[in-house]
């Protein structure tokens, strides 16, 4: 691993732990899983919001990093997290799927919170660390950290898309955010498209930089490396989960419940970027055009509650629930189960794996999505269970507007979710592939995920940061 034993200071919006009952545990998120082995090997530190709990311990069993909590008042969380991060940057970076709100008070708080995170990171007492800053909540932090530690090695990774300059340029604070990012030595994106969008934005707003290949050269002599590093999953974890006893038990129950029905599955945070409304419209169309499916098909939507303090998310929930009710009213046949199963909750991981195994079609139809890890989890679980009795391979129906599309374009059924009529046709088509074809498509996609798992992603990212640093050392001050 490219850190060579140097300390690692991760700076992310949230700490990697949460409290259940009286006990603190590592959180279940992908980033936490990905970084666990790295922080175990080095002197690991994590700077993040304390979630409103002033008593976060310095260490938590199962995650070998020192925790450095950042406190925010409820009002600061409202302005920084719900406001500027999720009502300004989130819709803007997802191609204006909702109208971004430009509020100067939110911006001032965003700046102040980025300063607070940068101060907390700079205060971590370690010798010659690598700082790794994450995501859209902290776009200013790399430059702020550079002000405090001019010689520091700083990497940044963006987990969501980077918008084209024509959209980014609408933001009153476009220049400040670009300068914030350019404080890093290396900036990682999921795809080449997002990387190019960033570089085009920099070119448009900074006349004093030159770009050669993937490097941005600044007038002060510093260079910033940009790279596309698609994030991935812990393949071994999901492969084991696929065939765990508990998963098998859950699957047996689900198979009984959905006997004699083809199952299409959706798994998303309830977010307007995920295309759930378009998906339901397409289901309605499918059930209109193909009446026999009303009793031989089920669509299961797991919608994980998300950001429900934000108006657009509450509206989305209402609309989705109205649409599900509407479909039930129109298509439920007396004596038969309803055609749409809507679960507004998060389910345990073994249950999630059982749903992945049950699905004949996995419908991943976001209007825009940085990567989409559900796609990678689905093909991995399906492939790991290929030799289990009754495990018939499923089909991945995938939006062309996800980062994952680049990897799966040859073997998924690709769709444009904005075109509801063609989406319904793609859904119907997904139900027609023969078993051998399905199996080999899943196998190829799973092999590709295995080749670039989340640990490879961590290595690539850290390698990119340390490469940028070596180049700086060769050029000299
Ligand atoms: C952002 C970007 C990018 C979902 N339902 C349940 C559950 N999940 C887990 C999945 C998956 C994760 O949540 C969702 O990850 P995604 O990547 O699909 O989407 P975002 O939350 O929007 O993530 C995205 C990602 O960051 C990483 O950079 O890929 O583009 O938007 O791991 O398994 N987990 C459990 N129960 C559920 O019901 N336990």
Instruction: Give the residue-averaged pLDDT of 72-85.
Output: 98
Total number of domains in the chain: 2
Cβ proximity of 442 and 384 under 8 Å: no
Establish if 296 belongs to a structural domain.
Answer: yes
Same domain, 353 and 408: yes
The residues annotated as belonging to the active site are 159, 369
Please state, for a pLDDT cut of 70, what percent of the chain lies above it.
Answer: 99
What is the predicted pLDDT for the residue at 125?
Answer: 96
Same domain, 344 and 266: yes
Q: Which residues contact 115 (CB under 8 A, 6 or more apart)?
A: 140, 144
Same domain, 247 and 156: no
Residue 373: which domain range? 235-451
Same domain, 342 and 394: yes
Establish if 1 belongs to a structural domain.
Answer: no
**Is pLDDT above 70 for 250?**
yes
**Is pLDDT above 60 for 87?**
yes
Instruction: Give the residue-averaged pLDDT of 374-396.
Output: 96
What is the predicted pLDDT for the residue at 471?
Answer: 74
CATH of the domain at 168: 3.40.50.2000
Q: Which atom of ligand 1 is nearest to the CA of 369?
A: 30
Establish if 2 belongs to a structural domain.
Answer: no
CA 375 to ligand 1 centroid distance, Å: 10
CA 56 to ligand 1 centroid distance, Å: 25
Same domain, 202 and 340: no
- What mean pLDDT, rounded, does the chain reach? 95
Same domain, 415 and 390: yes
Residue located nearest, by CA, to atom 23 of ligand 1: 372
> What DSSP string describes 20-70?
ETTEEEE---HHHHHHHHHHHHTTEEEEEE-TT-TT--S-BTTB-SEEEEE
Same domain, 281 and 354: yes
d(CA 42, CA 44): 6
What is the predicted pLDDT for the residue at 360?
Answer: 98
Structure confidence at residue 85 as a pLDDT band (50, 70, 90): very high
Same domain, 110 and 244: no
**Is pLDDT above 90 for 1?**
no
Q: Diameter of the chain by CA atoms?
A: 77
What is the predicted pLDDT for the residue at 477?
Answer: 56
16-40 pLDDT, tens digit each:
999 888 899 998 777 887 888 888 8
Ligand 1 pocket: which of 33, 371, 407 to mutate (most atoms within 8 A of CB): 371
Same domain, 291 and 147: no
Same domain, 30 and 103: yes
Same domain, 242 and 256: yes
Establish if 477 belongs to a structural domain.
Answer: no
Establish if 270 belongs to a structural domain.
Answer: yes
pTM of the model: 0.96
**Is pLDDT above 60 for 354?**
yes
What residues does ligand 1 touch, defined as CB less than 6 Å away? 28, 30, 159-160, 231, 267, 269, 302, 304, 346-347, 349, 352, 369-374, 377
Same domain, 183 and 322: no
What is the predicted pLDDT for the residue at 238?
Answer: 96
């Amino acid at each position: 691993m490219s850190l060579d034993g140097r300390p690692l200071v991760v700076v992310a919006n949230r700490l990697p732990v949460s409290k259940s009952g009286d006990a603190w545990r590592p959180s279940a998120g992908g980033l936490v899983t990905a970084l666990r082995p790295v922080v175990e090997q080095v002197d690991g530190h994590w700077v993040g919001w304390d979630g409103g709990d002033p008593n976060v311990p310095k260490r938590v069993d199962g995650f070998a990093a020192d925790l450095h909590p950042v406190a925010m008042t409820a009002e600061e969380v409202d302005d920084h997290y719900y406001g500027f991060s999720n009502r300004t940057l989130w819709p803007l970076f997802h191609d204006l799927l909702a109208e971004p709100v430009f509020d100067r008070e939110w911006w001032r708080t965003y700046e102040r919170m980025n300063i607070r995170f940068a101060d907390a990171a700079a205060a971590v007492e370690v010798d010659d660390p690598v700082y790794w800053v994450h995501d859209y909540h902290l776009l200013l932090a790399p430059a702020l950290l550079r002000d405090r530690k001019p010689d520091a090695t700083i990497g940044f990774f963006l987990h969501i898309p980077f918008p084209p300059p024509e959209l980014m340029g609408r933001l009153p604070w476009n220049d400040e955010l670009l300068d914030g990012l350019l404080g890093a030595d290396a900036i990682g994106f999921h795809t080449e498209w997002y990387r190019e969008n960033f570089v085009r934005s920099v070119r448009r707003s900074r006349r004093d930089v030159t770009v050669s290949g993937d490097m941005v050269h600044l007038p002060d002599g510093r260079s910033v490396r940009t790279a596309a590093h698609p994030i991935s999953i812990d393949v071994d974890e999901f492969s084991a989960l696929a065939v765990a006893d508990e998963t098998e038990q859950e699957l047996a129950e689900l198979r009984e419940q959905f006997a004699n029905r083809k199952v299409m599955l959706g798994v998303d945070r309830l977010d307007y970027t995920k295309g759930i409304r378009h998906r339901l419209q397409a289901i309605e169309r499918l059930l209109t055009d193909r009446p026999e499916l009303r009793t031989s098909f089920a669509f299961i939507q797991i919608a994980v509650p998300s950001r429900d303090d934000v108006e657009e998310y509450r509206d989305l929930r209402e609309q989705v629930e109205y649409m599900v009710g509407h479909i039930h009213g129109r298509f439920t046949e007396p004596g038969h189960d309803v055609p749409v199963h809507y679960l507004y909750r998060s389910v345990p991981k073994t249950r999630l794996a059982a749903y992945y195994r049950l699905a004949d079609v996995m419908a991943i139809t976001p209007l825009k999505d940085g990567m989409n890890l559900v796609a990678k989890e689905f093909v991995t679980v399906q492939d790991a269970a290929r030799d289990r009795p009754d495990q018939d391979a499923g089909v991945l129906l995938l939006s062309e507007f996800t980062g994952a599309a680049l990897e799966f374009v040859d073997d998924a059924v690709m769709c444009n979710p904005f075109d509801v009529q063609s989406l319904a046709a793609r859904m119907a088509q997904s139900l027609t592939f023969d078993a051998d074809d399905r199996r080999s498509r899943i196998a190829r996609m799973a092999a590709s995920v295995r080749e670039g798992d989340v640990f490879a992603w961590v290595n690539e990212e850290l390698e990119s940061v340390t490469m940028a640093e070596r180049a700086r050392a060769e050029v000299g001050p």
